[in-house]
Amino acid sequence: MILIELDKAGAEWDVVAYLTGDGNMLSVVESDRSPHTVTGSLISGAPEEVVEKENKLVGNHTDPDVIQELREEMPELAVGAEQLGWFLPRIFSIRQMGKKSNHGLNYDMKYRRFALENELEEKESKTIVDYYKTKAYPGIPLWHETVRQKLNKDRTLTNCFGRKRKFLDAWGPELFDAAYSFIPQSTVFDTTRIGMVKTYQDTSKLFKPVEILAQVHDSVVIQYPEDASAIAEVGRIIGTDYMNPLCTYNAREFYIATTMKVGRDWGNMVECVWEEDDIKRALGEVDEQKAA
């Protein structure tokens, strides 16, 4: 039996883009550019090609001395920082700064917590958080204000699938944090839930061998016999149809992309597309990893 994982990775960020209507966020979602690269570029001021080049050099290093030494191989970084005011993070690459910001700052995380979670100096953390909300994505604070206004009206928020939540906690930061995250998180969960229900209800010959094993927020894991052609078709139907309902926010319609992984156990999964040859390629990689 083969495990198939259908995943909405990174989907919350996409939903926030449509909720905020922020031009920079929408341009990333509607293009093939990396959101982490773009965010790093917008915060730092460095062009995207420089961000990518620097990331290849710095990688996942976090030692500031090592990073500084590696950056010396790119004289344009020093020129940009000195003459153009580029902001260069001390303990990770520019792209890594963008990645950490994308994962943590849409729901109004404060700079002290961001500093603590990423082992940053508070001064540097404050700069990153401020730039994320002013230079990179100024639509985010405006969206936060809209959410607070809705809470002030009736304390109720509703996502595009009609799911409602009434917020009854004391008025303040903790209430706001929960409210900011509700619609993005519930939207992603509901796309996954809808897909899982449709998969369960499909009684066709193709879907009869499907066993639903797990649903983890933004992903569904199923089990299926080792038949690359059938796996490709099942994955395509679930990924592009069942788990892909139309979402609408601010009069903008959009779909949240689904990715697929296959493997013989949950600890060894390889990403692939829903094509027979790619399924075979992915399973071959899994077998090679186990043999190694």
- Residue 215 burial class via C-beta count within 10 angstroms: exposed 0-12, middle 13-18, buried 19 and up: middle
Among residues 56, 120, 113, which one has the least CA distance to residue 89? 120
DSSP conformation letters of 189-234: HHHHHHHHHHHHH--STTTTT-EEEEEETTEEEEEE-S-HHHHHHH
CA 92 vs. chain centroid, Å, equals 19
The string of pLDDT tens digits covering residues 175-228 is 999 999 999 999 999 999 999 999 999 999 999 999 999 888 889 999 999 888
Number of continuous H segments (helices) and E segments (strands) in the chain: 13, 9
Q: CA 233, CA 235: separation in Å to the nearest integer? A: 5
Report residue 112 as tokens: 């002290």
- Residue 202 burial class via C-beta count within 10 angstroms: exposed 0-12, middle 13-18, buried 19 and up: middle
Q: CA 231, CA 50: separation in Å to the nearest integer? A: 40
Q: Are 221 and 214 in contact (CB under 8 A)?
A: yes
Contacts of 285 by beta carbon, 8 Å cutoff, 6+ apart: 270
CA dihedral 145, 148, 153, 155 (to 10 degrees): 150
pTM above 0.85, yes or no: yes
At 166 the pLDDT is 96
Q: Are 25 and 115 in contact (CB under 8 A)?
A: no
Place of tokens 């082992």: 119
Q: CA 44, CA 50: separation in Å to the nearest integer? A: 11
Place of tokens 């990403």: 271
Q: Are 118 and 100 in contact (CB under 8 A)?
A: yes
Sign of the Cα torsion 73, 79, 80, 82 reads: positive
> Quick one: what percent of the chain has pLDDT higher than 90?
74
Q: Are 14 and 184 in contact (CB under 8 A)?
A: no
Q: What is the CA radius of gyration of the chain?
A: 22
Domain ranges, ordered by start, for the chain: 2-10+186-291, 23-137
CA atoms within 13 A on the CB side of 172: 3
Over its length of 292 residues, how does the chain's per-residue pLDDT go in tens digits?
Answer: 889 999 997 899 999 999 999 999 999 998 878 899 999 999 999 999 999 999 999 988 889 999 999 999 999 888 888 888 999 999 999 999 999 999 889 999 999 999 999 989 999 999 999 999 999 999 999 999 999 999 999 999 999 999 999 999 999 999 999 999 999 999 999 999 999 999 999 999 999 999 999 888 889 999 999 888 999 999 999 999 999 999 999 999 999 999 999 988 888 888 888 888 888 888 887 777 666 6
